[in-house]
Every structure is written in C-alpha cells, then in structure tokens.
Structure 1
Amino acid sequence: NWYTAAEFWHLLFNNICVVGIWIFLGYLLGFGFFVSVYSITLTCAAAILICVFFVQHNFDGSYAHKTEGWDYLEGAIKGSSYLELPTVLKWFSADIGYHNIHHLCERIPNYNLQACHNQNIHLLRSAKTLRMVDIPDCFKYILWDCPSNRLTSIASFRQAAQSIDLERANEA
C-alpha cells in the first residue's frame, strides 16, 4: 500500500532489485542451495521477530480492553512497549523496539522513531520499558482475564481458580 507516486516507484524499484539479487545469487550459488539457505534464514528471522512483536504487546500490566470503552491513546502507550535493544539489533529490526511510537503514528519512518521517542519522552512516562532480560517473562501472559480486563499467566489463573474453589468450600 502506498500513499504517493514516489512511494510506488520506490517500492517497485526495491522489488526489482530484490528479485534481481535473488536471480544473481541463484545463478552464482545454485538455485537449490540459495533457496534452501534463504528459506532457513528467513524462517529463523521471522520466528525471532514474531517473538519480539509478541512480547511488545504481552507483558505484565499491558493495556487491553474490550471494544466498548477502548481508548486509542492509552492503547498505544500502555498496550505496547518500548523494547530496549542493543544498537546492532535496533538496526537489524528497523527500530521495532519503539513499537509504542509506531502505534501512536504508523507513518513515522523507522529511521525517525528514536528521535521521536527521545523528543516525547516526557509524554511516554507511563509506557512500559522492556529489556532483553524481560523477554522470557512476557511469554507467560497469554490468557485474557475478563473480570479484571488484563492479561494473566496460566499460573495466576490457576491460583485464582484455587482461591475461588477454597472460598466455595468454606461457604459450604
């Protein structure tokens, strides 16, 4: 999807270059070898970026809400995180760590996300900051708790269910 003729031509030129490089590398390395290595590399990169995307939305205290009463600004700032990444990973991921900025305005190009984040840091105080060490903990927030309107872990869900069972047993 493009907004201007210039974006269309950039996209077309980029696609022609990519396909040209694929053909060149296929001839140079052999098409079977190139497609095998390319497929494995692409699959691994996609898996890593899917995980990064997942943790930027699923963390303790993440804003999630039913459609009724949903707040766009709160959803953008508290429903996605700022993921601090080392410089090399910022480059490889096209600054995906500034995901909350992207949710505020998807038209900001990735090379301007850090500057936008730095200039508006005072407005992003309530945004969650995640670090690389926080990533494994985010994978446990996979259940939606309707009564509390929040994401929860399976362990927390079981603990709450046991508490309810104990209350019912004590009442009986």
Structure 2
Amino acid sequence: MTQSQTRPILAESRAWKTAVAPYQQPDLRRSVWQIVNTLVPYFLVWFLMVPAYRISFWLALPLIILAGGFTVRAFIIFHDCGHGSFFPSRRANEIVGFITGLITFTPFFAWRHGHALHHSASGDLDRRGDGDVWMMTVDEYLASPWWLRAAYRIYRYPLVLFVISPLILFLFVHRIPLKGRKRERRSVWLTNVALVMIVTLMSLLIGFKTYAILQLSVLGLAASAGVWLFYVQHQYEEVYWKRHYEWDYATAAVEGSSFYKLPKILQWFTGNIGFHHIHHLSPRIPNYNLEPCHNANPELHVEPLTLLQSFKCIRYRLWDEANYRLIGFGELKKIARA
C-alpha cells in the first residue's frame, strides 16, 4: 500500500486508534533491558576508547563510531521518555530522560516542549518552525530578498545541514534557555551545570584535550546521524504538507512521515525510529513496539524508503505547493521561467 492509498482509510475512519492502542503500554522489563544494553556498552566503549586514542586516533576511530551509535540509541530512549512512553511512571520517564539527556547534550524538559509542538503541527504549512528542518515553499523563496535566499541555500547545503548545524545545535543552541515555561528554562540551566561537572571530572581523569577530542567526535557523529534521520523522515519527494484548513492529523502522520527501512543493525541502533509513520500516528508507543504495531496492521503499511533511496532526498530543497511535492533548486529554474 502506498502512502496516497492510506488517505481514505485515515480520513474516513478513526479505526487506527483501536489498531495502535494495544501497543501503547510500556513493558517495564523491556525498557530496563534496553537501558542496560545501551548504557552499559556505551560506558564500556568509552573506557576502551581512551587508551586506544592515546596510542592512535585511528585505532580509536572504530570505537568512536560505535560510541556514536550508542549515543543515537540513548537519544531514542531520551525521546521516548519525552513522550512519556518508555515507563508507566511519569517520574521514571523524567529521571531517565534527564540522564540520557546528559549523554546527548540535550535538556529534557526544554526539548520535550519543542518536540511536542513538532508532533502537533507536522505537515501543517501554516504551523512550521518548531522542531522542524527549515523549509520554504517555492513562492516564499521567490518572494524573498536575495540575502534570505542566500541564507536558505547555505542552510540547506549538505555540509552545513548534516555536519556543521548538528554540532552547533547540540553544543550551543541547547545551552540557551530560549523559550518555554519556567520548568523548560530551568532544565536548560540544570543540564548545563551537570555538563560542566562532567566535563570537569573527565578532564581531571583523562585530560581536557583527550576528552574534548573524543567527546566532540562521538557527539558530532551522533548529531549528524540524528539530524539525517529526522531529515529523511520528513523530507522526501511526495511527503505530506497542507495548509491548516485542509490538514488532518492522522493523514499527516502516515503520509508525512517516512517508513525508513534500514538494515537490521542500523534499525537496532536507531531504536526502530524508521517506523516513523507509526510513531507519528501514536507517540505513546514505545520504540520496541513500533515494528510489532506496523506488522500487525497492514492498513498502515506504506511504501518503504530504503537506505539507498534515502540519499536522493538530499536534493530536495523547496515545497512546490502547486504540485504537492518537494523539488530541488534545479527544478526551481524551470518554474521561475514558466
């Protein structure tokens, strides 16, 4: 079933609520085991990475890549805690969310606030901006001054979007209490204080230079992978974007979020987040229940986006409202001449 074929099912019926309901209950045993098989290897890899780096950076590189993978997996746990889906207890979600937020350099409550806005407005052209990749429509781009068009082109350049911007986001933007209620702003400061303590302790134990090089390398890889995942989950050719008056939550969830079919090892490290259409349909489903929910409900199946196919998404830059699809700058020239 393609994504366009799901529209009648979702628009005319709310049976999907019944379909996803059995998978929304977290399993404490599975959640605890996921913490163990993520955080224990993460710290073990760090323990091995330091002596390897002191011999040679290249000897440490495979461990850096592995630590980056476990950081991504820790972020998925953090993400589930943000949705309140990882534990039955709200307090447990908040505690584990704060701890995994330190690993991923992300303040829990502030991120949770912004991410909730993303879920509530995903696919809505009139409510873009919170937790989204910056995306302009063709008309907006053509009507913009030269400096804004230049800034947009720079932002959407792959080196900037997937390498430079992720590091800036996780190292600096997440350090600033930009908006939200008192609790969101306070979570930024508490995370910053805790990170300063961690940096100080690690610098005393292994030296600042060693820690900085290893941490920046691990975080840089994980941040780039995370932004890439988020990008391909919402930036593919026939993705769903509608004006608010014709926007529908369930249709936006399934048609506006990809089924990113990854090799099993990458699916494990990314915590099944490739089943993103299921996740957006029901954020209350813990990551380990996303695949079972997908497999049990053929009516929610969509055309998968493979790893190889996903690299084509890099060329998409602008939303063509007239033709309901993303286009590249090359196609923009044809539209501008028309």
| Shared fold, TM over 0.5 | yes
Indicate yes or no: 2:182 matched with 1:6: no
Alignment of 1:93-112 (within 5 A): 93-112=270-289
The DSSP-based 3-state class of the residue aligned with 1:56 is helix
Indicate yes or no: 2:293 matched with 1:116: yes
User: 1:123 is matched by which residue type in structure 2?
Assistant: E
Q: Which sits farther off after the overlay, 1-10 or 55-64? A: 1-10
The DSSP-based 3-state class of the residue aligned with 1:144 is strand
Alpha-carbon distance between aligned partners in 1 of 2:321 and 2:100, rounded to the nearest angstrom:
44
Indicate yes or no: 2:265 matched with 1:88: yes
Structure 2, unpaired ranges of 5+ = 1-81, 104-193
* Alignment match, 2:118: none
Alignment of 1:19-38 (within 5 A): 26-38=203-215
Alpha-carbon distance between aligned partners in 1 of 2:100 and 2:226, rounded to the nearest angstrom:
21
The DSSP-based 3-state class of the residue aligned with 1:60 is coil
Q: Cα distance 1:41–1:17, how it changes in 2: closer, same or farther (>3 A)?
A: closer
Alignment of 1:71-86 (within 5 A): 71-86=248-263
The DSSP-based 3-state class of the residue aligned with 1:139 is helix
Alpha-carbon distance between aligned partners in 2 of 1:158 and 1:70, rounded to the nearest angstrom:
29
Alpha-carbon distance between aligned partners in 1 of 2:260 and 2:211, rounded to the nearest angstrom:
33
| Structure number, greater radius of gyration | 1
Indicate yes or no: 2:313 matched with 1:138: yes
User: 2:226 is matched by which residue type in structure 1?
Assistant: L
Q: Cα distance 1:24–1:119, how it changes in 2: closer, same or farther (>3 A)?
A: farther
* Alignment match, 1:159: 334
User: 2:265 is matched by which residue type in structure 1?
Assistant: V
Please report how far the alpha carbon of residue 61 of structure 1 lies from its aligned counterpart in structure 2 after TM superposition. Answer: 1.1
Alpha-carbon distance between aligned partners in 2 of 1:52 and 1:15, rounded to the nearest angstrom:
19
Higher strand share: 1
Measured on the aligned residues, the alpha-carbon RMSD in Å equals 2.7
The DSSP-based 3-state class of the residue aligned with 2:275 is helix
Alpha-carbon distance between aligned partners in 1 of 2:281 and 2:100, rounded to the nearest angstrom:
28
Q: Cα distance 1:158–1:39, how it changes in 2: closer, same or farther (>3 A)?
A: same
1:110-153 deviation line (CA, Å, top 9, x unaligned): 11111111112x1224x231101112211122111132343222
* Alignment match, 2:143: none
* Alignment match, 1:52: 229
Higher helix share: 2
Please report how far the alpha carbon of residue 62 of structure 1 lies from its aligned counterpart in structure 2 after TM superposition. Answer: 1.0
Tell me which of the two structures has the higher relative contact order, counting C-alpha pairs closer than 8 angstroms and 6 or more residues apart: 2
- Is residue 316–residue 327 contact of structure 2 (8 Å, CA) maintained in 1? yes
* Alignment match, 2:245: 68
Q: Cα distance 1:15–1:79, how it changes in 2: closer, same or farther (>3 A)?
A: closer
- Is residue 235–residue 326 contact of structure 2 (8 Å, CA) maintained in 1? yes
User: 1:159 is matched by which residue type in structure 2?
Assistant: K
Alpha-carbon distance between aligned partners in 2 of 1:156 and 1:73, rounded to the nearest angstrom:
30
Runs ≥4 in structure 1, deviation > 4 angstroms? 15-28
Q: When the two structures are aligned, how many residues end up with a matched partner? A: 160
Alpha-carbon distance between aligned partners in 1 of 2:285 and 2:203, rounded to the nearest angstrom:
35
User: 2:319 is matched by which residue type in structure 1?
Assistant: W
Please report how far the alpha carbon of residue 56 of structure 1 lies from its aligned counterpart in structure 2 after TM superposition. Answer: 1.6
The DSSP-based 3-state class of the residue aligned with 2:271 is coil
1:128 to 303, 306, 310: 303
Alpha-carbon distance between aligned partners in 1 of 2:101 and 2:260, rounded to the nearest angstrom:
33
Alpha-carbon distance between aligned partners in 1 of 2:232 and 2:91, rounded to the nearest angstrom:
35
* Alignment match, 1:170: none
Structure 1, unpaired ranges of 5+ = 165-172
Output the TM-score relative to the length of structure 2: 0.42
Indicate yes or no: 2:234 matched with 1:148: no
Please report how far the alpha carbon of residue 21 of structure 1 lies from its aligned counterpart in structure 2 after TM superposition. Answer: 8.3
Alpha-carbon distance between aligned partners in 1 of 2:312 and 2:304, rounded to the nearest angstrom:
13
Please report how far the alpha carbon of residue 158 of structure 1 lies from its aligned counterpart in structure 2 after TM superposition. Answer: 2.1
User: 1:6 is matched by which residue type in structure 2?
Assistant: A
Output the TM-score relative to the length of structure 1: 0.78
The DSSP-based 3-state class of the residue aligned with 1:158 is helix
